[in-house]
Amino acid sequence: MKAWDMPEAEDTVEYARQLILVPILHSPADMGTMAADLEAACIERLGRRHWDEYLALLENFWQEVRAEIERLSLDYRRVDLYQDGLPVCGMELEIVEKAAAAGSENHQLLMDLVARGATLMGTEDPKLLLDEYRNVKSALARGAGKADPVQPINPPSPQGRAMAGRDAYIGRRIGQSLRPGRTGILFLGMMHNVESFLPADMVVRRLVPPVLGAKDKAR
């Protein structure tokens, strides 16, 4: 069974611009200063076994993503990269380099694709990201997290509003910056729902890595 819900090459329709949406799992290396608190909350709420199972899911996740992207045989000179948590700030490459050096496989993949000619794009509103960070930190301090790393926090209202605002901004940002004839790849956490904010003329394809497909079937 294929991980992609994309058509075979002969069935692919002509498009002005295309977005490949990649639902991602966040690793401890992606969680920055909150990594230890999120791990502790997960273990407290759901047990050590749940956390260990999540880490096991991560073990081959990014290798699968890499393999599926490789199979597309993209011309990376015509690819724009959009990333969950990457602000529009003029320092996007420096942020990704730092995260990659800290061990984030997500950001290491971004660096590899940039080296092959892809263009890194700032993706999120810095203010909305800061609001989200404060809300998550506050929720953790209150013990309000559901602590599933796939869905780290069960959002109280302020966080839920921040997430919706982020999705709306991401949709607008991609709509305004992804030019005709180019392909975008959006790496986005599984709690997000950005598709309703994307322009109607954009062809959107989803990648579901095999490990996530298997997890969904097991539910």
Hey, is 209 helix, strand or coil? coil
Among the residue ranges 4-13, 25-34, 189-198, 202-211, the one predicted with the least confidence is 4-13
**Mean pLDDT computed over every residue of the chain:** 83
What does the pLDDT read at residue 213?
65
Confidence (pTM):
0.82
What does the pLDDT read at residue 206?
92
**pLDDT tens-place string over residues 7-24:** 444 344 456 899 999 999
Indicate the pLDDT class of residue 215, thresholds 50, 70 and 90. Answer: low
Distances (CA, A) of 186 to 29, 45, 51, 189: 19, 31, 26, 10
Residues near 100 by beta carbon (within 8 Å), at least 6 away in sequence? 107, 108, 110, 111
**pLDDT tens-place string over residues 124-170:** 999 999 988 888 777 777 765 444 555 544 444 555 677 899 999 99
Evaluate whether 185 touches 24 at the Cβ level (below 8 Å). Answer: no
Per domain, the residue ranges of the chain are 15-218
Whether 69 has a pLDDT exceeding 60, the answer reads yes
